[in-house]
Amino acid sequence: MGRLLKFNIFRYNPQDPESTPHMESFVLEETDSMTLFIVLNRIREEQDPSLQFDFCCRAGICGSCGMVINGRPGLACHTKTKDLPEEITLLPLPVFQLVGDLSVDTGSWFRELYDTVESWIHTKKQFDPNAPEERMEDAVAESIYELDRCIECGCCVAACGTARMRPDFLGAAGINKVGRFLIDPRDERTEQDYYEIIGNDMGIFGCMGLLACEDVCPKHMPLQDQLGFLRRKMGITALKNFFRK
Amino acid sequence: MQVPLTANHQSLRNHRLDGVLDWAQMLSGVGLILFMWAHMLLVGSVLLSPGIMNGIADFFESSGMAQVGGPLIFLLFLGHFVLAARKIPFRLEGQKTILEQAKLLHHQDTWLWVVQATTAMVILIMGAIHMWAVLSDLPIVALKCAETLQKNSGWLLFYLVLAPLVHVHLGIGLYRIAVKWGFVGRAGRKGLKRFVNLLILVSVGISVLTLFRFWFMTV
Ligand code: HEM
Ligand code: SF4
Ligand code: SF4
Ligand code: FES
């Protein structure tokens, strides 16, 4: 027989005026290769059908199952119970709007973020659907891909002390997004254009280097290196602007 | 999130100062680090002999560097406070948020920031008192320092608190600059932490030894 695991789960339904935020415990026997994704589905099926949580791909790809697992933001589908103690506390991600129980609305947050950083290729070239795709060096393509692996789970944002203290902070995911377009040769935006997006305390200069983002990102995005790179890059732009003025 | 400030209109071409202030914050920190190391070694020279320390102090005073440099350092100190204070939550709400966050995450670097902001406030007050006390009572002589400490053990206690706080704050600051600006990348982070721990240990060691050298000096 497997371990008996005790799950303390945050419960609250903001839609229901009767509901108040509280913790509720569920006990479940551990099975082989059990993930929190399996746990939550079993609790919902066997014990409480009203439990709210998000999932979709169950393979660490869609980014919808982010939650705070024993204090650390992480993906439920990526977290095996055998790596956890017998008592497990699950909370919804902070910063994002709560939908109910463990479900938060990361979608609206990221939508707004992408509007702010204008997360698309800016180019004046006319698109010709018949022309062959423009070529790109392998190395460039790979470095863009590396920064494009972010699944928008929101863990880095929820872990960031700065993001919690100032709601206008773009977070590591947002700053990284700008870095992704900055190295894309197809994007015609200039250094100054990027500076206007992240060259301020809402962006890279707001980051205090707490590196919780780096430590929790389930995709192990190179956030520390990316933040350092952009701080230097934007720092130099700031000096150029200051002295040119 | 705020209204996007991103439309690329010429009129919005901003020369916003956040980036320059971030440089200033970093450089004021670096300046204070260099000063503190120099300070530690100068005062620590008493460990070699009080004569050496007196000689160094005399050099700085007779050349006027102490009289001019002292207040300048004080300005740097205040400047650093003003710059770094942009990041400190002064409202209870913000303080509660960052504390809750640190507790929730049990994440070392987040705690380090809390330690940095807290030590900062104490250093601001105690450092100011220290600078006032020393600079308003020049010249600096080893025997006089010893006498001050021995006559009033409150001063010994004062410095036994201040010195470690400064070195902890300084060490975390050094670490933070290195990771924030990417001088040390992902691969070097662990090693950097070890180095900073060692640095703090050695610095606090030298400072405490110096203080006890004064304490046990015959006056
Ligand atoms: C001997 C005195 C001091 C030394 C050597 C020192 C050194 C440093 C260094 C190197 C940093 C890192 C700077 C950066 O991240 O850009 C720093 C950060 C900081 N310092 Fe100081 N400091 C001193 C005194 C003070 C005082 C009096 C305050 C008063 C409030 C203060 C408040 C802060 C704060 C809040 C930070 C964190 C800033 C951030 O995370 O962005 N420091 N300090
Ligand atoms: S950077 Fe990492 S933690 Fe942040 S949203 Fe992307 S995948 Fe999630
Ligand atoms: S390094 Fe910057 S973005 Fe990452 S958690 Fe810290 S403050 Fe937030
Ligand atoms: S369910 Fe898609 S990332 Fe977890």
A75 forms beta bridges with: A66
Report whether pLDDT(B141) > 80.
no
What is the value of pTM for the model shown?
A: 0.84
pLDDT of residue B219: 62
Dump the DSSP string for A228-245: HHHHHHHHHHHHHHHHH-
Pocket flag, ligand 2, residue A153 (CB < 6 Å) = yes
Going along chain A from its start, the domains and CATH numbers come out as 4-103 (3.10.20.30), 118-243 (1.10.1060.10)
pLDDT of residue B97: 84
Q: What is the value of ipTM here, to two decimals?
A: 0.82
Which backbone phi and psi does A104 adopt, to 5 degrees?
-125, 160
- The answer to whether the beta carbons of residues B182 and A227 sit under 8 Å apart is yes
Tell me how many residue pairs between chain A and chain B have CB atoms under 8 A apart. 137
CA-nearest residue of chain A to B178? Answer: A228
What average pLDDT does this structure show over A115-137?
89
Report whether pLDDT(B185) > 70.
yes
Give the C-alpha separation, A116 to A110, whole Å. Answer: 10
Pocket flag, ligand 3, residue A209 (CB < 6 Å) = yes
Give the C-alpha separation, A122 to A137, whole Å. Answer: 20
Q: How far is CA B92 from the centre of its chain?
A: 24
Name the percent of chain A lying above pLDDT 70: 99
Task: Give the mean pLDDT of chain B.
Answer: 82
Cβ atoms within 10 Å, residue B208: 14
Q: How confident is the model at residue B8 (pLDDT cuts 50, 70, 90)?
A: very low
What average pLDDT does this structure show over A59-75?
93
pLDDT of residue A229: 93
Task: Give the mean pLDDT of chain A.
Answer: 91
pLDDT in tens, A168-185: 889 999 999 999 999 999
What average pLDDT does this structure show over B133-159?
76
Sorted by where each begins, the domain ranges of chain B are 19-215
Tokens encoding B45: 């020279």
pLDDT in tens, A92-107: 999 999 999 999 999 9
Q: How confident is the model at residue B218 (pLDDT cuts 50, 70, 90)?
A: low
How far apart are the CA of A154 and the nearest CA of chain B, in angstroms? Answer: 15
Q: How far is CA A25 from the centre of its chain?
A: 27
Which ligand ends up closest to the CA of B125? 1
Report whether pLDDT(B73) > 90.
no
CA of A61 to the centre of ligand 3 (A): 23
pLDDT of residue B13: 47
> What residues of chain B lie within 8 A of the CB of A210, using their CB?
107, 109-110, 112-113
Give the C-alpha separation, B25 to B8, whole Å. Answer: 28
Give the C-alpha separation, A100 to A97, whole Å. Answer: 9
> What residues of chain B lie within 8 A of the CB of A167, using their CB?
1
pLDDT of residue B12: 46
- Better pLDDT: A11 or B132: A11
> What residues of chain A lie within 8 A of the CB of B1, using their CB?
109, 112-113, 116, 167-168, 170
Name the percent of chain B lying above pLDDT 70: 90
CA of A147 to the centre of ligand 4 (A): 19
Q: Which residues contact A15 (CB under 8 A, 6 or more apart)?
A: A100
Q: How confident is the model at residue A28 (pLDDT cuts 50, 70, 90)?
A: very high
The structural architecture, per CATH, of the domain B19-215 is Up-down Bundle (1.20)
A100 forms beta bridges with: A103
Among B residues 188-217, those touching chain A with beta carbons less than 8 Å apart:
189
Q: How confident is the model at residue B54 (pLDDT cuts 50, 70, 90)?
A: confident
Q: How would you class B48 by CB atoms within 10 Å of its CB: exposed for 0-12, middle for 13-18, buried for 19 or more?
A: exposed
- Better pLDDT: A84 or B153: A84
